[in-house]
Structure 1
C-alpha cells in the first residue's frame, strides 16, 4: 500500500453498503419503522437511530431486549416483506450510477443487511446495476456491527481485509468495517459522527481509477 492522505486512499478492492450508500431508501425505512415504533409505544426518533445499518432482528433485539430472538426473527420476516413491497421514494444516492459504472471490471462487492429480494428490488428501483459479488442477509449469521459480512466479501473477492476499503453511511456499518480491519469511506450526513477514515457528502465526490500493480486509487472532493 502506498502512502495515503485524507483525500487519497489506495486499495485493492471495494466493499459497498447499499442503503444510504448507493440507494436512498430513507422514506421506506422510516415509514415501516414508524409503524413498528407506534405498535410498541416506542419513541420513533430513538428507534431510527438504532435501525440504520442493522438487520431488523438485530435492531429489535436492541430496542426490545426482553423479547425472544425467535419473535424478533419472525417479525423481521414481516418487516422485510413490508419493505420489499414498498419502493415509493427509493432513489439513487447522487453519483451512484457513475460510481458503479467506474467500477466495472474492478474488484468490488455489495455487502448489505438487506436480503436478496429487498436488495434486488431497491437497486432496481434506483436504476442501479447489482454488483456480481453480493453478501446479503442470507449470507451471514450476524448483523452489522459484526464484521462477518465485510470479511466474507473480502474473502469472496480474494483479498486481505487490510487491502479493502468499505463504503458505509451508518454507525453500525462503520463499526463493522473497522472491526474487519478495513478503512471506511463514510457517505452522507449520518456517517460524520462515527469518524470514518474519509467522509463525503455523496458519491459525486469519489473517483476510482486503477493504478500500477492492480491497485485502486480513490480520490475525494
Structure 2
C-alpha cells in the first residue's frame, strides 16, 4: 500500500460537530412533524438536500438546505476540532492533502477559521460534483486536482456513505470510529479509533508525514 496523499472528510473527522448537527436536525425535524431519529440516521456523510429528499419529498430541498445552513451557522460555538486534528494536519508538511465534504464552502471555511484549523489548497464541496457521497465523484475530483492516482490516496471517513464513495473511487479507505461502529464502516480497508492512529499509518506507509 503506497500512500501519496490524504483526503479528509470534515464533520466527524476533523471537526467534532455531531452534537451541534444533532440539535439542528432535531429542531428541523420537529418543526416539520418528522421523526428525529429516522432523519438523523440519514444525515451522515450526505448533502442535507439529499436527506430532505429522502425524508420529506413534499418539501423543496433547496429551500430546506438554506434553512438548515442558517441553523448550522448559529451553532458555531459548539464545534471543536477532533482530538489530534491540529497535530495531524501540522505533521503533513510535504504531503498533499485535501478536504472532501458534503458541507458548503462558506460554512466550512468559517468553522475552520473559528477552530484554528488550516484549509488546504484543494477543497471539494458537495456543490462541486454532480453526484455527492456515496457516489465516488468527490474523491475522484480531489485526487485529480492533487494530480495523484486515487489508488495512492488515503481517505479518512467516519460515515458509511463516505466509505462507500471512497472505495468506489478506488481510494484506500480508513474508517474513523468517531460516529459509527467498525461494523457500520465494514467496507473500509481498516478502521481506527483516533487521528493519532491515522498519523501512525501515514508514517508507516511512507506518506512523508512528519513522525515527530
TM-score if structure 2 supplies the norm length? Answer: 0.89
Q: String of CA shifts for 1:19-70, please: whole Å, max 9, x gaps.
A: 0001001122111100111122222122111101111001111212x336xx
Offset at residue 191 of structure 1 (A): 5.0
Tell me what 2:75 maps to. 86
Offset at residue 94 of structure 1 (A): 0.9
Query: What runs of 5+ residues in structure 2 fail to find an aligned partner?
Result: none
Report the structure, 1 or 2, having the larger strand content: 1
* C-alpha separation in 1, matches of 2:177 and 2:91: 20
Tell me what 1:7 maps to. none
Alignment CA distance shift 1:206-1:112 (3 Å)? same
Contact 1:55/1:137 (CA < 8 Å) preserved in 2?
yes
For the pair 1:158 / 2:147, whether they are aligned, the reply is yes
For the pair 1:49 / 2:41, whether they are aligned, the reply is yes
Contact 2:16/2:79 (CA < 8 Å) preserved in 1?
yes
Q: How many residues align?
A: 204
For the pair 1:197 / 2:167, whether they are aligned, the reply is no
Query: What runs of 5+ residues in structure 1 fail to find an aligned partner?
Result: 2-9
Tell me what 1:22 maps to. 14
Q: Tell me the C-alpha RMSD between the 2 structures.
A: 1.9
Tell me what 1:58 maps to. 50
Tell me what 2:23 maps to. 31
Offset at residue 112 of structure 1 (A): 0.8
Tell me what 1:4 maps to. none
Contact 1:168/1:191 (CA < 8 Å) preserved in 2?
no
TM-score if structure 1 supplies the norm length? Answer: 0.85
Tell me what 2:117 maps to. 128
For the pair 1:114 / 2:130, whether they are aligned, the reply is no
Offset at residue 206 of structure 1 (A): 2.3
Contact 1:135/1:153 (CA < 8 Å) preserved in 2?
yes
In the TM superposition, structure 1's runs of 4+ consecutive aligned residues that sit over 6 Å from their partners are: none
For the pair 1:209 / 2:200, whether they are aligned, the reply is no
For the pair 1:40 / 2:32, whether they are aligned, the reply is yes
Contact 2:9/2:157 (CA < 8 Å) preserved in 1?
yes
Aligned residue among 181, 184, 199 for 2:170:
181
Contact 1:210/1:217 (CA < 8 Å) preserved in 2?
no
Contact 1:169/1:191 (CA < 8 Å) preserved in 2?
no
* C-alpha separation in 2, matches of 1:166 and 1:191: 17
Q: String of CA shifts for 1:174-219, please: whole Å, max 9, x gaps.
A: 11111111121111241521212111112022222397xxx5278x
Partner SS, residue 194 of structure 1: coil
